Amino acid sequence: MRLRKIPGAEDVIASSDYVVKNEENYKGKWREKFQNGYPVYIEIGMGKGQFLFEMAKSNPNINYIGIERYASVLLRAIQKMEEKPLKNLLFLCMDARRLEDVFGEGEIEKIYLNFSDPWPKDRHAKRRLPSREFLGLYSRILTKNGRIEFKTDNKGLFDFALEELDYGGWKLEKSTYDLYKDKDMCKGNIMTEYEEKFLSQGSPICKYIIYR
Ligand code: SAM
């Protein structure tokens, strides 16, 4: 994704109560951080947060954490939170490679991967968020019945993601190469920012839901 660096973004992140700092201190204690006993769902690579805002608004009994590695991207989400704060939504500005430093074993109920960067070169396959390397990380922080939901417009990335399921005992609950033609899978679908863009260009959206 092309990134426009916004001057001052790092300072906004540093002073925002909506972005958790020293996140390692909350490992295994995220429900306490939210001060409730509700399950915790995360989106990795949340971008500006459109999807999470809708989810958090519609599901007050679920805690959401958005993870985004670039301060300049996260900035917009912080501005939205300042306009209309949500108690069940927090952000982390970090690379997903650090997930295990921040979340305890079996602490997360659901992981959303929405329109993850495709990293088209073979030598960068490990950087793809649905790769076997990342799936290994997800497996350790997910609850026993935890689910991963992945959406993308990129058929190549989707085929890759399906092949990666063989490494680590993942099972496919549902999948489609055209979400908007699949009534069952599309029910209650919340659009992300990228999803809106790709749909308007006529691209079919692929989705899977997996578990172990
Ligand atoms: N999920 C949003 C959507 O669907 O509109 C944004 C999609 S955007 C293509 C992918 C986002 O993932 C970017 O903002 C990027 O910075 C973030 N990202 C990619 N790899 C990441 C990683 N390893 N850790 C955290 N964020 C990551």
Q: Is the pLDDT at 1 greater than 60, yes or no?
A: no
How far apart (Å, rounded) are the C-alpha atoms in residues 101 and 98? 5
Q: According to the model, what pLDDT value does residue 140 have?
A: 98
Q: What is the largest CA-CA distance in the chain?
A: 44
In angstroms, what is the span from residue 45 Cα to ligand 1's centroid?
A: 3
> Mean pLDDT in the chain?
97
Confidence at 5, pLDDT banded by 50, 70, 90: confident
Q: What atom in ligand 1 is closest to the CA of residue 73?
A: 14
What radius of gyration, in Å, describes the C-alpha atoms of the chain? 16
How far apart (Å, rounded) are the C-alpha atoms in residues 130 and 158? 9
Q: Is the pLDDT at 206 greater than 60, yes or no?
A: yes
Q: According to the model, what pLDDT value does residue 19 have?
A: 98
SS3 64: strand
In angstroms, what is the span from residue 102 Cα to ligand 1's centroid?
A: 18
Q: What is the mean pLDDT of residues 112-131?
A: 98
Q: According to the model, what pLDDT value does residue 69 have?
A: 97
Confidence at 10, pLDDT banded by 50, 70, 90: very high
Q: Is the pLDDT at 199 greater than 80, yes or no?
A: yes
pLDDT digits (tens, 9 = 90+) for 55-111: 999 999 999 999 999 999 999 999 999 999 999 999 999 999 999 999 999 999 999
pLDDT digits (tens, 9 = 90+) for 140-153: 999 999 999 999 99
Q: According to the model, what pLDDT value does residue 4 have?
A: 77
Q: Is 178 a catalytic residue?
A: no
Confidence at 2, pLDDT banded by 50, 70, 90: low
Q: Is the pLDDT at 6 greater than 90, yes or no?
A: no
SS3 102: helix
Q: What is the mean pLDDT of residues 119-127?
A: 98
Of 17, 101, 117, 178, which residue is the catalytic one? 117
Around ligand 1, the residues with Cβ closer than 6 Å are 1, 44-47, 67-70, 73, 95-96, 114-117, 192-195
Residue 197 makes CB contacts below 8 A (sequence gap 6+) with none
The residue behind tokens 């989705």 is 207
Q: Which of 53, 93, 117 to mutate to test the pocket of ligand 1 (most atoms within 8 A of CB)?
A: 117
Q: Is the pTM of this model over 0.85?
A: yes
Sheet of strand 108-114: strand arrangement: 89-93, 63-68, 40-44, 108-114, 142-152, 206-211, 171-176
Q: Is the pLDDT at 125 greater than 70, yes or no?
A: yes
